[in-house]
Amino acid sequence: MNVVILAAGQGKRMHSDLPKVLHPLAGRPLLAHVLDTARSLSPDRIVVVYGHGGEVVRDAIGHDGIAWARQEPQLGTGHALAQALPGLDASVPTLVLYGDVPLTRADTLRRLAATAQNGVAVLTVELDDPTGYGRIVREGGEVRRIVEQKDASASERAIREVNTGIMVLPTRELSGWLGRLSNSNAQGEYYLTDVIAMAVADGVSVRAAQPAAVWETLGVNSKVQLAELERIHQRNVATALLEAGVTLADPARIDVRGALAAGRDVSIDVNCVFEGTVELGERVSIGANCVLKNARVAAGTRIEPFCHVEEADIGPLCRIGPYARLRPGTALAEDVHIGNFVEVKAASFGPRSKANHLAYVGDSAVGRDVNVGAGTITCNYDGANKHRTVIEDEVFIGSDTQLVAPVTVGRGATIAAGTTVWKDVPPGALALNEKTQVVKPAYARPRKPAKR
Q: What is the DSSP string of 1-58?
A: -EEEEEE----GGG-SSS-GGGSEETTEEHHHHHHHHHHHT--SEEEEEEBTBTHHHH
Of all helices (H) and strands (E), which one includes residue 175? helix 171-179
357 belongs to the catalytic site = yes
Are 378 and 363 in contact, with CB atoms under 8 Å apart?
Answer: yes
Tell which residue, 306, 305, 339, has the closest CA to residue 320: 339
Report DSSP state, residue 213: S
Tell which residue, 91, 166, 174, has the closest CA to residue 133: 166
Q: Give residue 417's Cα distance to chain centre.
A: 44
C-beta neighbour count of 25 within 10 angstroms: 22
What contacts 24+ positions apart, CB below 8 Å, involve 378-386?
378/347, 378/403, 378/405, 379/403, 379/404, 379/405, 380/405, 386/346, 386/362
Q: Give residue 393's Cα distance to chain centre.
A: 39
Sign of CA dihedral 248, 252, 255, 259: positive
Q: For residue 439, what are the contacts with CB-CB under 8 A and spacing of at least 6?
A: none
Report d(CA 311, CA 327) in Å as an integer.
7
The catalytic residue among 33, 79, 233, 357 is: 357
Of all helices (H) and strands (E), which one includes residue 362? strand 360-366
So which residues are the catalytic ones?
A: 357
